[in-house]
Chains A and B, each alone.
Chain A
Amino acid sequence: MGVIVKKVELTWLDRTYVWPVLQGMSITFGHFIRNLFTPTAKRYTVQYPDMKREIPAGYRGLHELKRFEDGAIKCVACFMCQEACPARCISIEAEEFSDLNLSQGFQEKRPAKFSIDMLRCIYCGMCEEACPKDAIWLRKEYEVAAYDRLSMQFGKWNLMNTYAEADGKEQLTQDPTPSVPRRTIAM
């Protein structure tokens, strides 16, 4: 089945070529004048460092490890995110802690180390999907850059504090409860 292309019939005015050129020039001149009298701040271009785009809801930016009210980490070191990660950028080391309390939902396991290699991360959001505790979120921060590779390895405390300033929360540097050495439970 062929598509019938309709041929444009040119009038004699179009054939002179001069008139269409003038028409085109009037269009471009209209744009020129319109832009000339529009202040730069109001044009389509977002002048990036000075102006920033409104980030849509559901944007997947830099990760945050969520915390409870008392500053304890929500993560229970279940390794689901590490398994789900297609870029294999998450690495977790688990530890146990003793002080069980209600706010933490009687957890007794948490990550001792939780690091994400931001150079490998593809911001796919799989870790957020996989997390059973809603402990890792991908939020709106997107300016992730550094001068060397090592500073792109985000550790546990980096990840917990990524949005602390934006949300007006305090910077955390330690867990509210100490860890305890691994117990062997007699079955």
Chain B
Amino acid sequence: MFITFAFVTLLGALGMLLQKNVIVAGLCMVATFFGVAGLFLLLANPVAAALQIIVYSGAIMVLVLFVIMMLNSHEEEAAQTARPVQRWVSVALVAALAFGAVKLVLTSAGLKALAVSGEPMPGAMTLQKVGTTLFAEHLLGFEVAGILLLAAMVGAVALTKRNL
């Protein structure tokens, strides 16, 4: 299962990067979101999976595709061919980053705890648990995020609608 979802995620991401067609790239991104939602499910967090699909695939990508269709840019201009130096530098950078990420995961405390102790997995996440966590432990962060979003929304309206 993990392998399947991981492949869906990675293939989606790769497809999104390599695809010339913007709409198809967007679809690949949806596939990636699906893969990630599947991974969330495997991590016993169905709430995050559902929210991932509702918010990202259901709303954000639809809006993005909407905007793409509205601007009607079906074909992108051909990008300038990269010089070999750039290519090598980027490959080296990506390799370094990937190496660092994998090493970080392998040496993390969580993995060791998982390998050593045979204690039972924590129960599946539910909406109730998410709620209590948000409003009890992370209340300040939640409120700050809410204020930030509100400010962003007001700003967006103020920017686009000149004569209020």
Would A and B touch once assembled, by the CB under 8 A criterion? no
